Structure 1
Amino acid sequence: MDALDDALQKAGAEAFVAYGTSADATLRYLTSFRTSDPIIYLKRIGERGTIVVPAMEVHRAGLESPCSVMSRADAGFFTILKDEPDPLKATARVIADLAGGHILLPPDFPFGLAMEIEPLRSVSVERDALSTLRAIKSPQEMGMIRRVQQATEDAMNRAISMIQRSEPVHDQLITPEGEVLTSEMVRYGIHSALLRHGCRGMDTIVASGEETADVHLRGSGPITADAPIIIDIFPQDEETGYFADMTRTVVRGEATPEIREMHAAVSDAQILAFSLVRDGADGSVIYQAVASHLRDAGYETEPNGFVHSLGHGVGLEVHEAPGLSSRGSTLAAGNVITIEPGLYYPGVGGVRIEDMGAVTKYGFDRFTRFPEVFCI
C-alpha cells in the first residue's frame, strides 16, 4: 500500500480510515472481507491495515482478510457506549482514539460519521491514491475478472440462442413453444446462466427496436424482429466482488441498410481503438480518434450518434478509473478497460459493441473471446 503511505505522509496524517460494508468497493479492496455489517478499516504509515469487526466475525475475518483483526469490544466501542449511547458518536470516538491524530478519509466516507469525527480529530480527504491503486490490477485480480468474463460469455450465448431459435413473425419473435419472445424472458435466461457461475446480473440491458436509441434503457416487452437488439451484460462475481462487461448488437431477421452501416462503422471504430491502446496512451486521444473516425463516416457525436465515452475501467466496480472520454486519463499497464463505441439515432435505433481487456506495455490484451455476431 505504498500509495496510501505516500498519501498519509503528504497529508501529515496519522491514519487512513474507511468505514462501511463490503458493498463499498474501497473497503472490499482494502480488506478482502465480505460483510453486510459496517466495519472500520484503519492504516498507519508502514503498517498493514487493521479492521474492527463484530465479535462473531473475528475468526472469519482472520481467515479472509490480510489485515489485523480487532473486535469492537477490544477497540473500546462498548465501553464508550456506556457514556455515549449514540452508536454513531461512539463509532466516531473509537476511530478518533485508534487514529490518535489527523485522519485521512476516502471521498465516499459516510458524511454523518465524518461530521462526528471532526470535533475529535482533524480530517481531510484523499482523492487519488486509492483510485490509482485500484486501477492497476494484479495478476490475481485479472484472473478473477477473466472468470467473470467467461460467465458473461456463457450468458451472452444463452441470450443469443434464445433469440436465434425464435422465428420472426411480422415485427415480433415467436419461440418454438408459440410464445412471443420478450426482453424479460431473455433477461431471465441471462441471469439464470450467470447464477450457475456464482455471478449475479442487475439492470442487464436487453433492448430492441426503438428502445436501442436510448443508451442505457433496459428494454421491456416483445423483442422486435428485423431491428437491432442491444444486449449489455455486466455481472458481479458474488465470491470475489469483481465485475465484467460486454455488449453485442444483433438482429434477428433482416437489418435495415442504416443499421448495417452503423454496425460496420462501430466495428471499425472498435478495431481502431484496440490498435491505439497501450501503456502511457492518453484516453482522451483515443476517444478523439474514434470520434473523428465516426464523423468521417458521417456520424455525429452530439446530440445523437456517438454520445458516450469510449470505455472505462472495470474491477470491483463496473465503472471505475481509468476513463476513455473527452476528459481522458493516462492508461497504464495493468488497467482493465472496456472499449465500447456506439451510435444511437431516434427513429433508426442504436448499435453498441463492447469488449474488455488489459492494457499492456505494447497494446491491448483482449479478455473477450465471444465473436462479433450481427444478423442471426
Structure 2
Amino acid sequence: MKRLDEAMEKAGAAAYVIYASSRDPDMRYLTQFVTSDPLFYIKKRGKDGILIVPQMEISRAQDEASCDALTRGDAGFFTYLEEEVSPRRAAARMVYEYVEGDIIVPGSFPLGVAEDIRSFCGVTVDADTVEAMRAVKSPRERDAIRATQEKTNEVMALAEEIIRTSTEREGELWYAGAPLTSDALRREMHCWLLRHGCTAHHTIISCGKETSQPHNIGSGTLLIDEPIVIDVFPQDERTGYFADMTRTFVKGEPSAEIQEIYDTVRDGQTLAEEMLRPGITGAEVHNAVLDLFNERGYATGDEGFIHSLGHGVGLQIHEGPSLSPRADTPLVAGNVVTVEPGLYYRKTGGVRLEDIGAITKDGFVCYTKYERRLIV
C-alpha cells in the first residue's frame, strides 16, 4: 500500500477511491471481496482501506474481505439521502465527508459518479498505480494462478484426446458419430471446466486457414491433416485468477510447411523461456525471438510474427507486464507472464504455442506442464 500512499501524496489527494463490483480487477485485488453490486472502497493516505457495504453485507464483508468494512448507514449515507437530490449525490457526499479532502480514482471509475463527487472535492485519475501493484504477484496469487493452470493442462488433455480418437470421413474429423466441430469441442472443454470450478469464454479452436488469424475463434468441422490451434484461458470462480495456454495439433500428416513453422515456433518459445529473468526487458526477449524467426526465413510484415510475445496474467487475462517490442521496463521476481510466439500465413495457416509461468530470482518457472507435440 506504500505505492498508493505515494500516489496520493504526489497528487495532493487525501484518499484513493474505487466504485466497482468484484468484476473490476483492482477492486478484487484490494478487497478480495466478491460482490456483483458496485461498492465503494476508500483508502485514506497513511491508513488502511475500508469497504462501504449495505447492512445486509456487513457480516460477510467482515468475514471475507481483506480490509475493514463499514455499513452505508454508519458512513452517513441515509442522512445525506434525506438532504440531497438523488442517491448518487448522497453517495458522493458520503465519500467526501468520510475522506475530508481530494481523491484519486482508477481509470475505470464511473464518470457520472466522479462528476457528482467533483461538486464536493477534487478528483484526479490514477490509472497506473494499482495496475503496477498487481503486476508483481504474491506467493498466494502465484499459487492461485498455478492451480488454475493445472486445470487448464487437464482440459487441454481432454481436447487433445478427443481429436486423437476422432475418425476421418472425407477429410473431416468425426467424434461420437457426429462431425467434430469447433463449437462441439469448445462446449466439451467449457463444460469440463465448469465441473471443475472454472469458467471460460471465447476459447479459440481454429482450423486450417482460420489459424492464420491469431484470434479467429474458429467455426465449422475440424479437418484431417490441417493445423488446429486451441487457445484456452479459464478463470477460477473461487479465486478469480486466470491461466492461459495454447497448443497447435494436427490429426494426420501436417504439411512440410506447417511442420517447419511448428519447429521454429517451438524453438522460439524455448529461447524466450531460457532468457526470462529479473532485470531483462520484455522488448529484449520479444526481439530475440523475432531475430530467430528472421534467421529461419520467417520475416514479419503483414504476416509472420504479428503479435507480442506475451503478457501478464492475474485477475485479468491481459495485464502487466508485457513481452512486446516496446516493453522497456525490466522484469522483476513475482511477474507472471505468458510466452506465446506464433507464425501466421494466409495461404498456409498458423501455429502458436503458449506457456505461462513466473519470474523468480533464478529465472522462469513454467506452470504449463504439458508436452509440446504437433501430431496427435
State if a TM-score over 0.5 links the two structures: yes
The separation in 2 between residues aligned to 1:62 and 1:85, in whole angstroms, is: 31
Per-residue displacement from partner, 1:5-26 (whole Å, max 9, x unpaired)?
A: 1111222210010111000000
Task: Tell me the residue number matched to 1:93.
Answer: 93
The separation in 1 between residues aligned to 2:215 and 2:164, in whole angstroms, is: 23
Note if 1:117 corresponds to 2:120: no
TM superposition score normalised by structure 1: 0.98
RMSD: 1.1
* 1:151 to partner: Cα distance: 0.8
Greater mean deviation of Cα atoms: 311-320 or 97-106: 97-106
Task: Tell me the residue number matched to 1:334.
Answer: 334
Superposition pairs of residues 109-188 of structure 1, within 5 angstroms? 109-175=109-175, 177-188=176-187
The separation in 2 between residues aligned to 1:90 and 1:224, in whole angstroms, is: 60
Superposition pairs of residues 1-376 of structure 1, within 5 angstroms? 1-175=1-175, 177-328=176-327, 329-376=329-376
* 1:102 to partner: Cα distance: 1.2
* 1:124 to partner: Cα distance: 1.1
Structure 2, unmatched stretches of 5+, are none
The separation in 2 between residues aligned to 1:302 and 1:56, in whole angstroms, is: 57
Give, as a single letter, the amino acid of the residue that structure 1 aligns with 2:224: A
Per-residue displacement from partner, 1:252-311 (whole Å, max 9, x unpaired)?
A: 111011110110010000011011100011111111111111111111322111000000
Partner of 1:104, secondary structure, is strand
Identity of aligned residues (%): 47
The separation in 2 between residues aligned to 1:337 and 1:211, in whole angstroms, is: 26
Give, as a single letter, the amino acid of the residue that structure 2 aligns with 1:187: R
The separation in 2 between residues aligned to 1:218 and 1:325, in whole angstroms, is: 23
Q: Between Structure 1 and Structure 2, how many residues are aligned?
A: 375
* Aligned residues of 1:168 and 1:253 also touching (Cα < 8 A): no
* Aligned residues of 1:93 and 1:117 also touching (Cα < 8 A): yes
TM superposition score normalised by structure 2: 0.98
Give, as a single letter, the amino acid of the residue that structure 2 aligns with 1:81: L
* 1:83 to partner: Cα distance: 2.4
The separation in 2 between residues aligned to 1:185 and 1:335, in whole angstroms, is: 35
Per-residue displacement from partner, 1:55-87 (whole Å, max 9, x unpaired)?
A: 111110111112111111111222222222422
The separation in 1 between residues aligned to 2:359 and 2:100, in whole angstroms, is: 40
The separation in 2 between residues aligned to 1:304 and 1:284, in whole angstroms, is: 20
Q: Post-superposition, which runs of at least 4 consecutive aligned residues in structure 1 deviate over 4 A?
A: none
The separation in 2 between residues aligned to 1:258 and 1:130, in whole angstroms, is: 45
Give, as a single letter, the amino acid of the residue that structure 1 aligns with 2:344: Y
